[in-house]
Amino acid sequence: MEKVDLRSCDLASLKAYMEQLGEKSFRAGQLYGWLHQKMAADYDEMGNIPKSLKEKLAKTAVLTTLKVKTMQESKIDGTRKYLFELADGNLIESVWMKYKHGNSVCISSQVGCKMNCSFCASAIGGWVRNLTPAEMLEQIYRISKDTKERVSNVVVMGTGEPLDNYDNLVQFIKMLSDEEGLHISQRSITVSTCGIVPKMKQLAQEKLQITLALSLHASNQEDRSDLMPIAKTYEIHEVIEACRYYFEKTGRRVSFEYSLIRGKNDTKEDALALSKLLKGLNCHVNLIPINPVRERSYVEPDMSHVLEFKNNLEKYMINVTIRRELGRDIDGACGQLRKGYLKKS
């Protein structure tokens, strides 16, 4: 019989599992507290759980706890990049960032990525597998234990395409925001997608209050499909339509990520085309000067040019900010999470 993935169970399935084991249902609540509030790493920590139950669990369930393999801290801004080892030996990365308004964790949703965006390091080495809800939660739990600080924001912007791991993602969001767990407000959770249209529409119907971020990166179909292979399947206008739908269904303003690449998508004409594309949409644009990736040839524009691009968008009444870059010296910035450590090992 397949073992139960204990830390991926929500409270209802944990209750059903306790019943199956012939245990009282209040044990489910106790266990859930240990797993998701106290973020226990193993059964030894669970003081009020009887030995007999622990033995049954050890036989019929697996308890997912990530191992910190390495941690690098940025000398510039204190950002930390964690390399975690999963039970099957795969390695994933997560980033912890300190902001004035609280601490933020950027988590991975897959081992590797299938999407192959031309400026991103995540797909180098291909896609290996999806992460379970437990493996996504654990990135936050281990970091919060290690830093001894509360995590207030979670962004699913690390390695992987979250909407390509849909069911696990939704379960993860529900558990992360559950009041019996860490209880992180859904409004403080952001999911970033390259634009898988049917899944964006499905997500709009889940009645979640999370922020959807769309990786746009271009103002027209031709340039976008040059940068992002997925744009050949879901064209730019379909993707924008799906964002409009997301706003209508959830009332949540969509956030657009636009990585500026010198000579590629950073002209005055691009700014004009972008503002036309987003016209009438309740949204926010996040400009990210592209982070150079060793294997890729793109270069970021000068800061003065980035500011000019921003001003141009503002002229057309677009809400826009420039993403502050953190952790550059530890390859912790957007798109830099990579499988470089594989080369070393």
Give the residue numbers annotated as catalytic, written as ranges. Answer: 93, 334
Residue 18 in contact with ligand SAH, rule: CB under 6 A: no
Phi-psi map region of 89: left, alpha, beta (phi>0 left; psi -120 to 50 alpha): left
Residue 96 in contact with ligand SAH, rule: CB under 6 A: no
Beta bridge partners of 104: 97, 153
- Shortest Cβ distance from residue 133 to ligand SAH (Å)? 17
Footprint (CB under 6 A) of ligand SAH, residues 151-190: 157, 161
Closer residue to ligand SAH, CB minimum distance, 15 or 339:
339
- Return the range that interacts with ligand SAH (CB under 6 A); candidates 24-32, 181-189, 237-245, 287-295: 287-295
Query: In 10 A of CB 150, how many CB atoms?
Result: 10
Query: In 10 A of CB 243, how many CB atoms?
Result: 25
Residue 120 in contact with ligand SAH, rule: CB under 6 A: yes
Residue 66 in contact with ligand SAH, rule: CB under 6 A: no
For residue 190, which amino acid is it? T
- For 81, the 3-state DSSP assignment is strand
- The rounded distance, in Å, linking the Cα atoms of 120 and 142 is 26
Place of tokens 């594309």: 277
List the one residue out of 81, 63, 100, 210 whose CA is nearest residue 139.
Answer: 81
Which helix (H) or strand (E) segment holds residue 29: the answer is helix 26-36
Q: Which of 17, 84, 119, 172 binds ligand SAH (CB under 6 A)?
A: 119
Q: Which of 40, 151, 194, 204 binds ligand SAH (CB under 6 A)?
A: 194
Residue 104 in contact with ligand SAH, rule: CB under 6 A: no
Which structure tokens are listed for 98?
């300190």
Q: Which of 23, 135, 138, 257 binds ligand SAH (CB under 6 A)?
A: 257
Query: Which residues contact ligand SAH by CB under 6 A?
Result: 115, 117, 119-120, 157, 161, 192-194, 215, 257, 259, 288, 290-291, 293, 334-335
